[in-house]
Structure 1
Amino acid sequence: MLRVNLIAWDNGVGLSRDLKLIADTLRDAGIGVDIQPARGRGKLRKWLGPWWRRARVQWRRWRSGPAYDLNLMLEHVRPELLGAARRNAFIPNPEWCQPADVKRLHRMDHVLAKTGHAVDIFRQRECAVMRIGFTSMDRHDPEVPRLRTFFHLAGRSSAKQTQLVLETWARHPEWPLLTVVQHPRSAKFRPQADNIAHRIDYLDDAELRRLQNESLFHLCPSETEGFGHYLMEALSVGAVTLTTDAAPMNELVTPERGLLIPFARTASQQLATRYQVDAGAIEAAVQAALDLSAEEILARSRAAREFFIDNDATFRHRLVQAVREASGRGIAG
């Protein structure tokens, strides 16, 4: 059996979701997967952990050879674990790929890219790149009545331009309801407006899923994305998704299944570019959404849902094939 060592920080949010999704997909294909936590809690474990893991890997390799066919590292390259497998592959998020990771790219046999944008970034660095795409949880619930309202899932992120969204909406009392879900620690700006429901309290998953399905429009002006989970979740429920007209956001959302917002300026974050929109662009996009007919909304909604289903199946096939090729145990299609 092909054995994979899946390595990432189980952070309780995005990376934890990615770990489970990748592990489940590979196990369903008959591939053995162990999840290796990349760091422990506390400063002492953070400092001593890499040293201890490197020593343990070297000892095991000396006694019986590499324990795995492939190390699959998410977001960061972990040099202390390179010897645990015969080959090494990296699934990066360009916006979190730090200089130390870039220096270690030559030690990766393959980079498995989530987006076309990432393919370009890592091919420019002469990496052997395979595009796998990615997927997200299917949040669709056809039993929830759809309303001509807007939804914005900010979570803990600082790259969703949430304050700009709130400021812009507060200037338009004539607009319909906007529901914003945001982590309390990130909710620094809290406007009072009758057409804004700013949810910074605890939401269980059932309530969050209801809110995602309830609004016909999802407003997602991301500055940057490693993949775009909240965009893909919006597409999964058949929402008309408004997002930034820049890569990789516009790889997921196209005019056939959403509305694109032009960016006004850029900034850098590690290997990625941050694309920032302005209030005028948000106003124009929201108005364009409000002007859509029922037939136009239905067409975009169906296209969004179909894209999610097709992408999900394609990703799972690509991931399994890429892991087999990267490990030297198969040929990718």
Structure 2
Amino acid sequence: MPVLNLIAWDNGVGLSRDLRLLAAALERAGFEVHLSPIGRGKLRKWLRPVWMHLRLFGERLRHGSEHFTYDANVMLEHIRTEDIPFARRNFFVPNPEWCLWSDVSLLPRVDAVLAKTVHAESIFGEHGHRVAHIGFTSEDRHDPSVRRERTFFHLAGRSKNKGTQRLIELWSRHPEWPMLTVVQSPREAKPIDPPVANIDHRVDYVDDAELRRLQNGNWFHLCLSETEGFGHYLVEAMSVAAVTVTTDAAPMNELVQRDRGVLVGYNATGIQHLATTYFFDEHLLEAEVERLLALPDEELQRLGDAAREWFLANDRGFSRRLQVALEPLLG
């Protein structure tokens, strides 16, 4: 049984979730998994390479220079050169919006890029490197016992890439619209001054049970990402059979398509590392909100059911996609 070592910064949010989901899927696919989470703190960041070099020296003394601890390293978000000598093969799972040019310069030292999206596949394919598409998955947040209302939800968290401030400003100009609940980290939130009656801005800690209630209790999830490495909050919205509204640009429109959600065009772009960022068009969003509010419940249910069906099929297929991608690379 091949032994895979998963390496990522254990940041308590997206990357920690990625580690857990990827480990579970690899184990279902028949691999033995070892986790190497990298703790938070600058001291750990500076000392880890030194420690890894000392560890490698000790292992080579005990086992010889041809010994490998793992069949493969799987490095998430950044390439860790100090880990490369421990594995026979080395794979990189990037998020283009956080991939540094220093990572790009190290691509020749890894055996393949494992792409979460077709968008990432095309970006790294252009660099002439071997790319295997694996896709990804997210947590199933569905709770059918929660009563759903024709209200809106926006899960911003710590991210700066979700169009949150522009969304709040737009909603503030429409007091006739239903309640919008925004969950945002205090590190990123700006106070709404003066407060707006139809915006519930949650900047305190929201526990998982309350977050799940909010995800299931709102018919409409506004996920107006500028860019995504994968898009967990979009996919979690689809898992609860919500009507998911996102930006009509890659990779968001790979996940949410018109038969299972709502796409809003953009009117400006930017660059964040290797990714293009897309900024939703406020006039187009206004028109979509008005259209959604006029839709009958049956149409909302149809869109939500289609979204959940896609989520379940994607989740079921993740382990198999990993197996198909990795077996020839490990060979």
Asked if these proteins are the same fold (TM beyond 0.5), I'd say yes
> Is contact 2:253–2:263 with CA below 8 Å preserved after alignment?
yes
- Is 1:213–2:216 an aligned residue pair? yes
Residue of structure 2 aligned with 1:72, choices 74, 88, 94? 74
Further displaced range: 156-165 or 49-58: 49-58
Look up the SS of the partner of 1:185 in the other structure. Answer: coil
Give the deviation of 1:85 after TM superposition.
Answer: 0.4
- Is 1:198–2:201 an aligned residue pair? yes
> Is contact 2:11–2:40 with CA below 8 Å preserved after alignment?
no
Give the deviation of 1:104 after TM superposition.
Answer: 0.4
CA distance in 1, matches of 2:174, 2:256: 25
CA distance in 1, matches of 2:147, 2:319: 31
Residue of structure 2 aligned with 1:150, choices 149, 152, 162? 152
CA-to-aligned-CA distance 1:149-197 (integer Å, 9 cap, x gap): 0000000000001011111111101101111111111111425111111
> Is contact 2:241–2:307 with CA below 8 Å preserved after alignment?
yes
Q: How does 1:220-299 map to 2 (within 5 A)?
A: 220-299=223-302
CA distance in 2, matches of 1:327, 1:33: 14
- Residue number in structure 2 paired with 1:319: 322
CA distance in 2, matches of 1:198, 1:158: 16
> Is contact 2:112–2:129 with CA below 8 Å preserved after alignment?
yes
| Aligned residue identity for 2:51 | W
Q: TM-score, normalised by structure 2?
A: 0.95
- Residue number in structure 2 paired with 1:331: none
> Is contact 1:265–1:277 with CA below 8 Å preserved after alignment?
yes
CA distance in 1, matches of 2:19, 2:276: 25
| Aligned residue identity for 1:315 | F
Q: Report % sequence identity.
A: 57
| Aligned residue identity for 1:37 | P
CA distance in 2, matches of 1:36, 1:86: 16
Give the deviation of 1:108 after TM superposition.
Answer: 1.1
- Residue number in structure 2 paired with 1:57: 56
Gaps of 5+ in 2: none
CA distance in 2, matches of 1:302, 1:61: 55
> Is contact 1:259–1:289 with CA below 8 Å preserved after alignment?
no
- Is 1:98–2:100 an aligned residue pair? yes
Give the deviation of 1:58 after TM superposition.
Answer: 4.3
CA distance in 2, matches of 1:189, 1:292: 32
Give the deviation of 1:62 after TM superposition.
Answer: 5.2
Further displaced range: 50-59 or 158-167: 50-59
Give the deviation of 1:40 after TM superposition.
Answer: 5.4
Give the deviation of 1:15 after TM superposition.
Answer: 0.4
From the superposition, tell whether residues 42 and 162 of structure 1 become closer, same or farther in structure 2 (CA, over 3 Å).
same
Look up the SS of the partner of 2:187 in the other structure. Answer: helix
Give the deviation of 1:35 after TM superposition.
Answer: 1.1
From the superposition, tell whether residues 293 and 56 of structure 1 become closer, same or farther in structure 2 (CA, over 3 Å).
same
CA-to-aligned-CA distance 1:200-236 (integer Å, 9 cap, x gap): 1221101100000011110111000000000000000
Give the deviation of 1:265 after TM superposition.
Answer: 0.6
Q: TM-score, normalised by structure 1?
A: 0.95
